Structure 1
Amino acid sequence: MRRRLLPAALLLPLALLVSACGGNSAASTSSGGGTDGKGSLTLNVGDQKGGSEAVLRAAGELDDLDYRIKWSTFSSGPPLLEAVNAKAVDIGGVGNTPPVFAAGAGSKITVVAAWHGTSQGEAVLVPNGSKLTKPEQLKGKSVAVAQGSSAHFQLIASLKEAGLTLGDIKVKYLQPADALAAFTSGKVDAWAVWDPYTSQILNGKQGRVLTTGDGVVNGLSFQVAAPGALADQDKSAAIKDYLDRLRRAQDWVYDHPEEWAKVWAKDTGLPYEVALASVKQTNASRVPVAVDEPLIKSEQEIADAFTALKLIPDKVDFSKYVDDRFNGDLPPSTTAPRLYKES
């Protein structure tokens, strides 16, 4: 069967879903989800569609909870962290960039857990007919990217590797749905984006990879908690249990990529082929790692880059926004991702 790309109009809900990687988002609404577990303690968890709740449920990790989890679903990472700052949410999952922007705004947030995955899904794409074959050739070309997103930093880092800066290209700040339309209509020369968009373009045979973030960006994702929840002994214990379940669920994803892709596709509206490609390339690769000094240094580099661009007003000390109490015997944050191998 011919694989088909979703029309741009249908991608708007997906854009809101995967803009978890973004530092800016016009979408700031949240809606209450269901409640799992039993007991007198309730852990308020912020989530995104197709995120933690879906993977925990698919992996059977929401069974036998001796506390309640009340889910709130957010359209992206920034409003989720706004809710953490407002004490409406105790903990929630985001990509590597929203915590930097939240820290830049002086928000009361604390990174308590991390996962390290590949950055193959973070890519600069070019149309199939493009004459561009290496990043150095982007000089003077137009590149679409979501401002303040993980792809934004990946673009900055990839240009630096090629001896270029943002000033050497024509940056078009576009959210994914608009960027897709510009890319497929030839209005931009390249598009810096993340999975599942990368997998969607490749599976739809609409373009090819010019360069990826592998070896250029940190490939980290986080669980971020409210300091008040961490100061509560009972909630802190529930957070530890919740993180243990998430880590086991990630192991399940690695061992059951097809099963998870079916769940993810149904939850997000992605075509199954795209979901499976994204799972194998990106999602299944994630390894639970420690919140440690190399992680802080890596996030500090992101913060400094955006401060230099004046997208963050003042210098951020990222070390003030982490807590390593849940590290246990986890490997360092520099641990290599698990590359999925076909059976």
Structure 2
Amino acid sequence: MRKPYRTLTLTAIAAVAVAVLAGCGAPAESTTAAVPAPVGPAELANVTLKVGDQKGGVKSLLTAAGLLDDLPYKIEFSTFTSGPPLLEAASAGAIDIGRVGNTPPIFAAAADAKISVVAAAQAPVADDALLVPPDSPLRDVSELKGKTIGVAKGSSAHGQVLYTLRAAGLSTKDVKLSYLQPADAFAAFGQKAIDAWAVWDPYTSQAQQESGARVLADGVGKTNGYVFQVAGRDALADPGKNSALREYVARVAKAQKWADTHRPEWAAAWAAETGLKPEVTNAATARGVELPVALDDQVLKSEQDLANAFSDEKLLPGTIDFAAFADQRYSEDLRTVREK
């Protein structure tokens, strides 16, 4: 019997994807395209869906919910350090779909990546934190002027930094942004090579639990907290992959709803999948879970506002039309899941 899924590490694939995207920057073309006809069960059984994951989040969620036991297709999970390299891989065709926060699709759109946002969820924003060491003299965001903030470029934390600084009357020009992936930023944070660290769960909870990190500010009242399933356009154009993606995004939405009433079970699966301490995953899930929402005008407008803010800060080359990177072909399937 074949295994329904397996996990890969995509360092090499991410490198290929970066090369594919290098030099991109042309205006975005519309994602409107003919939707392939669905395939039958026999053909679907031969499909291998390549799914990008971050720190085991989606895989552990599906595992805990028992939703990897009856797959009508195969899945290969691949682990990425953050959303931007995941979307680079999706654009290059190295993966078919992956979950990212609110900012990576904006940077991908600015690079004219071959991706489309196909599903949305609302996540808690208290974990979108700007952390400082426990003995830091910093007590207010306004005191960050001239300081160094570690953040993964193009990640949801990048958006959180922008909005948090704006709320304090500052801009990204008033601080030094040190672009670091989470593992490198955690090390720099522990060595006090950076003054603050902008990050998300489970890293926020890990830093609090393991190094006594203090939250200087969080995303409450600032960031929109949206997370997205983002698919590569080549996968969306393929009949077999499109049928698998339709089923997959609905399956993830079901798991998200399940997690809302089964947080301890999800936390345990998350810890088992990643090697994180149970205290970390329990703290992360206690803050809240992602719940599916419609990929509607409200979501698109909020994302456009964020994109415009990045453009205003000259952190994006020009402007983008976020709606041009949204594909609502699975909206009815997802509405059915949300309303159950």
TM-score of the two chains, using structure 1 as the length reference: 0.78
Cross-structure match for 1:340: none
Contact 1:104–1:316 (CA under 8 A) maintained in structure 2: yes
Distance 2:74 2:277 in 1: 30
The answer on 1:39 being equivalent to 2:42 is yes
Contact 1:50–1:268 (CA under 8 A) maintained in structure 2: yes
The structure-2 alpha-carbon separation of the partners of 1:180 and 1:328, relative to structure 1 and needing over 3 Å to count, comes to: same
Q: 2:78 aligns with which of 66, 73, 78?
A: 73
The structure-2 alpha-carbon separation of the partners of 1:62 and 1:211, relative to structure 1 and needing over 3 Å to count, comes to: same
Cross-structure match for 1:328: 332
Distance 1:268 1:247 in 2: 21
Q: 1:164 aligns with which of 160, 167, 170?
A: 170
Contact 2:49–2:244 (CA under 8 A) maintained in structure 1: no
Contact 1:29–1:75 (CA under 8 A) maintained in structure 2: no
Q: Which residues of 2 match residues 1-12 of structure 1 at below 5 A? A: none
Cross-structure match for 1:92: 98
Contact 1:44–1:88 (CA under 8 A) maintained in structure 2: no
Cross-structure match for 1:4: none
Cross-structure match for 1:218: 224
The structure-2 alpha-carbon separation of the partners of 1:39 and 1:62, relative to structure 1 and needing over 3 Å to count, comes to: farther
Q: C-alpha deviations, 1:252-293, integer Å up to 9, x for none?
A: 222222221121112112111111111222xx4211001111
Cross-structure match for 1:5: none
Q: Secondary structure at the match of 1:133?
A: coil
Cross-structure match for 2:301: 297
The amino acid of 2:80's aligned partner reads: S
TM-superposed CA distance for 1:175, in Å, is 2.9
TM-score of the two chains, using structure 2 as the length reference: 0.78
TM-superposed CA distance for 1:122, in Å, is 0.9
Distance 1:257 1:279 in 2: 6
Contact 1:29–1:74 (CA under 8 A) maintained in structure 2: no
TM-superposed CA distance for 1:249, in Å, is 0.9
The answer on 1:59 being equivalent to 2:62 is no
Q: Secondary structure at the match of 2:117?
A: strand
Which consecutive aligned stretches of 4+ in structure 1 deviate over 4 angstroms post-superposition? 231-235
Which ranges of structure 2 fall in alignment gaps of 5 or more residues? 1-8, 17-40
Which ranges of structure 1 fall in alignment gaps of 5 or more residues? 1-16, 18-24, 31-37, 336-343
Q: Secondary structure at the match of 1:45?
A: strand
Contact 2:52–2:78 (CA under 8 A) maintained in structure 1: yes
Q: Secondary structure at the match of 2:299?
A: helix
Distance 1:239 1:27 in 2: 20
